[in-house]
Amino acid sequence: MNACRWLHFVSAIGVVILLFSKTVYYGKGLTQYHWVSFILLLILCAWSIPKLNHLYLLNSLDFTHADMLPVIKIMCQRWISASGVYTLIPEIWGGVMPVYLPAMWIPFVPAILFDFDLRWITYGMLLISILVMLLSHRTFLGTLMIFILIGLWFDYVLNVRNETLVLAEEGVVYAYYIGLVISLYKKNVMATGILVALCMLSRYGIAFYSIALLLYYLKWDDKSKLVKYAVSATTTVVLLITVTGAWGNLSSFINLSGNYLSAISTNPNKYLTVMEEGLGFSSMAGVDHYTQVYWLQIILLVLVAVVMILTLKKNNQWYKLAWLKLTLVVFYNFIVIPYPYLIYTSVWVSIGILYFYVDHTPDNSLNLTNASTH
């Protein structure tokens, strides 16, 4: 298992090194028609949907197996009925407080409104983000490469780690981060602000990166870009917190990390299996050293953000993507409870980055917005 952890870490660092060493060379840009992407995506759906449907029928949503989606389901039902979303849920474990950040659970509302399985939201959002990525940049080599990688990932999670799409809600986070990769590559400042906010309101992984990015715009770009980034991010945060009625829970959101540490302290044996099977370095440290791992993670994330601010090059999207990837490498490799489905967020960021990396040309990039957002 240690070999797998090191392989995961080294391969992730390899992606970072590739980005830092990106030259000014631009390839030919073997442009494809969009129908190629659609056909490959349809093949992926035709293969994966029946498998997923079978898994969903075999594994009903049961909080005794995993309580994430059952809690989210009740939160969505409460929101629709205009009752208190963030109040005690007596139906689960005799009483549990919902702690999910707004951007984590609000995408599941359509599943309640139209009465279908919540898990199709995680799958659907992932597919939509892949489609947007394919439409944002047309390249034959990149499309073939990422569909091989995507196929391998789906094969693995469907046959080996099926809790990723059967029990977990993390597909929405994968989608947000793929969107962030797209917006950074396209230099779309407003979209970047929105996606940073969505990522922050689902997982805290890029908290320090988001600040570093703000200082980057302050240092290198004109004030209009700084304003676009700050206003779009702030507006998204305020809107989501207001719409979901989460203003009264800001203190509990801030204390989420402390709650996880407290949970481990109260019942360390509960997390032994996760520690043994997880890919992160916290698994190597063991359950007895979780506090040290947590503070090491914080220190490293701050250092990464500081070095990013000091070394970022003007108007270079590869540096921004490299620091995003490095931030996630640190965050997920030193996460205290290393559930595998959490760490796959970093994998999807790598897939998105490599798609743009293999054939970066100015001519074959399809702008999502006008040039003024650069």
Residue 232: pLDDT above 90? yes
Banded model confidence at residue 2, pLDDT cuts 50, 70, 90: low
Helices (H), 312-365: 317-333, 340-357
Q: What is the pLDDT of residues 321-336, one digit of tens each?
A: 999 999 999 999 998 8
Give the pLDDT confidence score for residue 124 in this predicted structure. 96
Chain mean position to CA 12? 15
Least confident of 27-36, 60-69, 278-287: 27-36
Q: In whole numbers, what is the pLDDT of the chain averaged over residues?
A: 86
Residue 371: pLDDT above 80? no
Banded model confidence at residue 116, pLDDT cuts 50, 70, 90: very high
Helix count and strand count (H, E) for the chain: 19, 0
Euclidean distance between CA atoms 317 and 285, whole angstroms: 35
The contacts of residue 373 (CB under 8 Å, 6+ apart) are 186, 187, 188, 189, 190, 191, 228
Residue 199: pLDDT above 90? yes
**One-letter amino acid of 255:** N
Give the pLDDT confidence score for residue 374 in this predicted structure. 37
Q: What is the pLDDT of residues 282-304, one digit of tens each?
A: 777 777 778 888 999 999 999 99
Averaged pLDDT for residues 53-61:
95
Give the pLDDT confidence score for residue 149 in this predicted structure. 93
Residue 22: pLDDT above 80? no
Banded model confidence at residue 372, pLDDT cuts 50, 70, 90: very low
Give the pLDDT confidence score for residue 32 in this predicted structure. 55
What are the φ/ψ torsions at residue 89 (nearest 5 degrees)? -105, 100
Give the pLDDT confidence score for residue 29 in this predicted structure. 46
CA proximity to 31, closest of 186, 127, 143: 143
Residue 311: pLDDT above 80? yes
Give the pLDDT confidence score for residue 262 in this predicted structure. 81
**Contact between residue 368 and residue 179 where contact means Cβ atoms under 8 Å apart:** no
Least confident of 103-112, 118-127, 363-372: 363-372
Domain boundaries, the chain: 37-373
Least confident of 175-179, 283-287, 344-348: 283-287
Give the pLDDT confidence score for residue 369 in this predicted structure. 38
Q: Which two tokens stand for residue 199?
A: 């990522």
Euclidean distance between CA atoms 368 and 372, whole angstroms: 11
CA torsion angle for 341, 74, 65, 291 (degrees, to 10)?
50
Euclidean distance between CA atoms 234 and 242, whole angstroms: 12
